[in-house]
Amino acid sequence: MSRRLAVRSPSDPLPWAFGVVIAALVVIGATTLVVRASVTEDSAHAAIEGTTLVGDATAVQLEAATRPAEATVRGVAGVVGLDPSALDDPARMLDELGGLMDGQPNIAAISIVAEDGSEVEMDRRKPGFVFRTVAADGTVEVTVLDETLEPVETRGDAPARARPERAWLDEARSSTEVVWTGPEHLSAVGRTVVHASMAAWGASGAGVAVVSVRLDAEVFSRLLSSSSAVSYGEASVVGEDGTVLAGEAGLAFPDDAVTEQASEGVVAVGDVVTYQRPVSGSLPWTLTVVVDGDDVLPAIASLDRTMLLYSVVIVVVTLLMSLLLWALRRPAGEVSARARTDALTGLSNRHHFEVRGNDVLQAALRRGAGVVVAVFDLDNFKSVNDGAGHEQGDDALRAVADGLARAAGPRDVVGRLGGDEFAAVLWLGADEDAADAVERLRASAHLTLARAVGSRFDVGVSAGWVDTSAGEFRLPTLVRAADDALVAGKRGEKGLAYEGMHI
């Protein structure tokens, strides 16, 4: 099994890629002609289509604005679930939460509520942050930090406070997915927020805490004000209780409106075109877009000529693309071989692992932080392929990838190097032990692998690792050292994480 980081030259995919691109361009051209005919026959229908297109595009933008918060809550829940003792280490939690909030200005706060009632919270307060811990008995300790996360004031043994009612806590406690609630207006800080919450589950399957990320609703107001929906008319986002999250208040269907299903929601046509739809299946908010027909239809009147011109352009582009693809067939094959994602597992492939891993190492070098590089290998994996077939073997590889990804932090890089070999570049937090970080990933991968293959096969996961404490920050050198440690360690006993020689 080769453990070099060099990327093999793939077979040239140009023949099928060439056909796919040409077919796609032809489909686009044909679709353009169909749309042109439809617009010419029924401008009112085009107005509805235009409005729903604007609304759907705006909904996609709104949903995309929530993804950083979802990624953050998943990452924190994964860290807490795999190591619940982190909640007892305020310095570590301050470092973890502070690093996440420092790079994401739209996150207003991150809260973690443990099953025993203790809490950890990082709150954004101008001009800096407030870090708060609450013991199980209600005793509060508060640390005020400036914008660089340096402590300004610490108030210990603060008086016990009443626990506020939090709707998100009960909803998220039994969920394995991110639960969105709100909006909620925080009068104390003059801010409206929405909650992305998720339960953190321990290795035994028991819930250990609930993690909540409060996203500042101002991000939706800014997005809506610059969207195409506002360019053509008015728009609003409203919560389940009628609270306006962003945009204009009072937007709704007219009392006498006749509605019909359109795209992802309902539309009504009158003096204005009103389109209403859920923002997404997971977000409990309603988007309403109102467009004046007089503003839309004049633009549609000239669309016929535009679409005709567009059809001509498609034909010309098809010919040019054919010539260009033929001339660049070898460079195109090389570029396609460097796709970032491993097709089987969804992790970074070799090339992307190299790029991202080097980025993390260089960033750590600049900031004086520590990094550990680990290589993981499946024990007795051949028995799965031989005994249950390659499809079961693929399931096992996907399970290991899932376990590694779940245990990794938001700044870590995990990739599949090939076969049953994986690697990770892990950013070490303040006072975080390199051996513990590697074992966290190895144990998570072992657990998901065991669940995937059952008790029929005696399989496991071994790891070799080396950190940057000796001053080596070159990824290929570190990977080789970790791989040597893995090979040497497995000669004695499998299913462990083996420390390599410091370089």
Mean pLDDT score, 32-39: 58
The predicted-structure confidence for 74-103, as pLDDT tens digits, reads as follows 888 888 888 888 888 888 888 888 888 887
Sequence-ordered strand ranges (E) for 126-178: 128-134, 140-145, 151-158
First to last CA, the chain: 24
Helix/strand/coil for 488? helix
Written as six digits, the tokens of 483 are: 């791989």
Q: What is the mean pLDDT of residues 163-175?
A: 73
The reported pLDDT for the residue numbered 437 is 94
The DSSP 8-state label assigned to residue 138 in this structure reads S
Q: Report the range of poorest mean pLDDT among 293-297, 312-316, 464-468.
A: 293-297
Q: Taking 90 as the threshold, does the pLDDT of residue 282 lie above it?
A: no
CA atoms of 86 and 189, how far apart (whole Å): 29
- Note the pLDDT of residue 479: 95
pLDDT value at position 54? 85
Q: Which residues contact 239 (CB under 8 A, 6 or more apart)?
A: 182, 183, 245, 284, 285
Separation of alpha carbons 481 and 38, rounded Å: 64
Predicted local distance difference test score (pLDDT) of residue 154:
85
Q: Give the integer Cα–Cα distance in Å for 439 and 450.
A: 16
Q: Is 371 helix (H, G, I), strand (E, B) or coil?
A: strand
Predicted confidence at residue 322, as pLDDT, reads 67
- Judged against a pLDDT cut of 60, whether residue 300 lies above it is answered with no
pLDDT of residue 250: 82
Tell me the C-alpha distance between 434 and 439, whole Å: 9
Instruction: With cut-offs at 50, 70 and 90, classify the pLDDT of residue 351.
Output: very high
Asked whether the whole model's pTM tops 0.85, one would answer no
Report helix, strand or coil for 290. strand
Task: For residue 500, give every residue at least 6 positions away whose Cβ sits within 8 Å of its Cβ, in sequence order, or none.
Answer: 464, 465, 466, 481, 482, 484, 485
Phi-psi region of 380 (alpha: psi -120 to 50; beta: other; left: phi over 0): left
Arithmetic mean of pLDDT, 156-177: 69
Q: Is the pLDDT of residue 159 over 60?
A: no
- Mean pLDDT for 145-168 is 73
Q: Following DSSP, what letter does each residue of 10-75 receive, concatenated?
A: PPP-HHHHHHHHHHHHHHHHHHHHHHHHHHHH-HHHHHHHHHHHHHHHHHHHHHHHHHHHHHHHHH
Residue 297, pLDDT > 80, answer no
Q: Is the pLDDT of residue 333 over 70?
A: no
State yes or no: pLDDT of 224 exceeds 60: yes
Average pLDDT over residues 359-381: 94
Q: Are 62 and 392 in contact (CB under 8 A)?
A: no
CB 295: neighbour CB atoms within 10 A? Answer: 14
